[in-house]
Structure 1
């Protein structure tokens, strides 16, 4: 059962990396177009990606502690 939790953690990290790549693309577009709404969205996406990565790391570490 622990390998399933680790696998979920890995998928969480992959999702966070994908979200970060999308946020970087949005950030570049926002800076080019000088679009403040898109910039706010990119910043929120970064926060979501960081939170997702931290949760995935915590899940993997918590599993290793047991």
Structure 2
């Protein structure tokens, strides 16, 4: 039987995953607007995303992203 704390943890994880998806869609929309307006180029977006993913990956290794 699943206890109350485990259910709360699962619900929290589910809500967190949903927020990540929603934020990802928002970021994608903003990026597309900036690209259409000519504020940024696709190369700049690619570089920024690469940096972001690298920083996010570094957070999980205990180095603090540095």
Greater relative contact order (Cα < 8 A, sep 6+):
1
Q: Which segments of 5 or more consecutive residues in structure 2 lack a partner in the other structure?
A: 57-66
Greater radius of gyration (CA): 2
Q: Cα RMSD (Å) of the superposition? A: 2.6
2:12 corresponds in structure 1 to 8
Distance 2:27 2:6 in 1: 31
Give the number of the structure whose residues are more often helix, by fraction. Answer: 1
TM-score by length of 2: 0.54
Distance 1:11 1:26 in 2: 23
TM-score by length of 1: 0.54
